[in-house]
Structure 1
Amino acid sequence: MSVRTLRKRAAGTAAGYEKYGLLLLMSSMVAAAAWICVGGSAFNQAAARAAVRASRMREIIDVQETSLRETVEEIVSEKRVVEYEILQKSPAYELSEADYDTLLRIVEAEAGGEDENGKLLVANVVLNRVDSPLFPDTVREVVYQQDYGVYQFSPVSDGRIDRVTVSDETRRAVERAVYGEDISQGALYFAARSAASGESMRWFDSSLTWLFAYGGHEFYG
């Protein structure tokens, strides 16, 4: 076999390999393109799903923010209404500074050991007397009134009214009374049976109408 023939066969073989390699390369490129298309489609689908979820989360957050804002606005509005009502409410009794201080002190002295309603009841009795034609017209005059030389309230007689320290609870009770809260059933008298003399209690029981008892006090009309 001549050298020329060998060269032709070698060239033909190389050309065949080259063509085969080119076909393989083209097949790989087609496969890769197909994979990219499929992968790209999957990616696009995943991205679309993520976008939908993000949109829904945004909607949920917007709804929650709106609900929270409306709740806060409602609370603020209600608070303003309450504050307005408080500002609009006027006291039932216009007391001078001296009368107010006297009321605080007599309530503390007479009902310091009672709960807030027990203190309120004593304040009610004093103010009921102010309203009654049977008693003086001011708190101070009612508290310091004497009957046959005897003070109506024992803390005035023994000076306790001047020594007490008024508690916050007493202040709240007096405020309630001054603003018109009355749970006394119109009582004009009260007495602590455990501390009063037998003679005093006999007078209460025989001369007055017993209404009710609360705490350590009994109330009469």
Structure 2
Amino acid sequence: MSLLKSWTGGAAILLALAGGLRAEVTVSQSNDPTEVAEQGLMSVLWTERSAMSAIDKRRVTALTMAPERSKKHATLPEVLSAKWLAAQPAAKGGEQFQCLSQALYFEARGEGVKGQQAVAEVILNRVDDPRFPGSICGVVHQGNSRACQFSWYCDGRSDTVRNKGAYAEVAKVARAMIDGAPRSLTDGATYFHTRAVRPSWSRRFAKTASIGHHIFYANPVRTASN
């Protein structure tokens, strides 16, 4: 019998004599490769669970669920077009739809369809981003005591829609984007500005697209080295 076996046996006897039957079982399990593997698996699962719980629930939903599409728009084009929109019925919807339609009307009614889709992408990307409000209306109306994210909402001017035809067109874009049209134009952008200005904040973000009269930006990807 080896010295190690003698020591182990002696330890077990002492534990048993001391009423340490449970401790003897623990010593036995510590030498079971299966038990060690199970303990390692539990540790990994616990780490993953802790990491997942730290992620905003909206982000988890966006990563794990496909966009909800209405039956009416079971098949939506990768990029919307004037021809496709002309074939669609008049757009309708509730409060969130109206907020997106208004935003597109005041921010992008002078753009082509592609430019309107790009602006809609920014708003919907913000909804999915935990740094912004979790609804379309919340994003569109976001602001503070100094200014609003979308200046038309708090510039002191009337928000009455005067061009009904233009509103009907952007409303179709809003409907298609809410129904799940792909966000394929701006590469995840959450910011934009017109070409006529160059705001200081634009230097802090990564340019992702230039469409119509707007330039689009996203938060730069951070790695362990930066």
Unaligned runs of 5+ in 2: 1-69, 77-91, 219-226
Deviations 1:70-118 (A, max 9, x none): xxxxxxxxxxxxxxx9548399xxx971221111011010001001111
Query: Aligned to 1:151, which of 148, 152, 173?
Result: 148
Distance 1:170 1:190 in 2: 18
CA 1:175–1:87 in structure 2 vs 1: closer, same or farther (change >3 Å)?
A: closer
Distance 2:157 2:98 in 1: 14
Q: Percent identity?
A: 31
Name the residue aligned to 2:49.
Answer: none
| AA of the residue aligned to 2:74 | K
Mapped pair 1:119 → 2:116: yes
CA contact (8 A) 2:73 2:179 kept: no
TM-score, scaled to structure 1: 0.52
| Structure-to-structure mapping, 1:131-142, within 5 angstroms | 131-142=128-139
CA contact (8 A) 1:125 1:188 kept: yes
Mapped pair 1:89 → 2:74: yes
Larger helix share, 1 or 2: 1
Name the residue aligned to 1:192.
Answer: 194
CA 1:96–1:171 in structure 2 vs 1: closer, same or farther (change >3 Å)?
A: closer
Distance 2:201 2:111 in 1: 24
Quote the RMSD (CA, aligned, Å): 2.7
Query: Aligned to 1:203, which of 201, 204, 208?
Result: 201
| AA of the residue aligned to 2:189 | A
1:101 aligned counterpart, secondary structure = helix
Distance 2:205 2:200 in 1: 10
Q: Which has the larger radius of gyration?
A: 1
Would you say how many aligned residue pairs link Structure 1 and Structure 2? 129
TM-score, scaled to structure 2: 0.51
CA contact (8 A) 2:73 2:176 kept: no
Name the residue aligned to 2:63.
Answer: none
Q: Which has the higher contact order (CA 8 A, sep 6+)?
A: 2
How far apart are 1:185 and its partner, in Å?
A: 1.2
1:117 aligned counterpart, secondary structure = helix
Distance 1:116 1:161 in 2: 25
Unaligned runs of 5+ in 1: 1-84
Distance 2:157 2:96 in 1: 17
Deviations 1:168-199 (A, max 9, x none): 321221122112221221110110031x3x5x
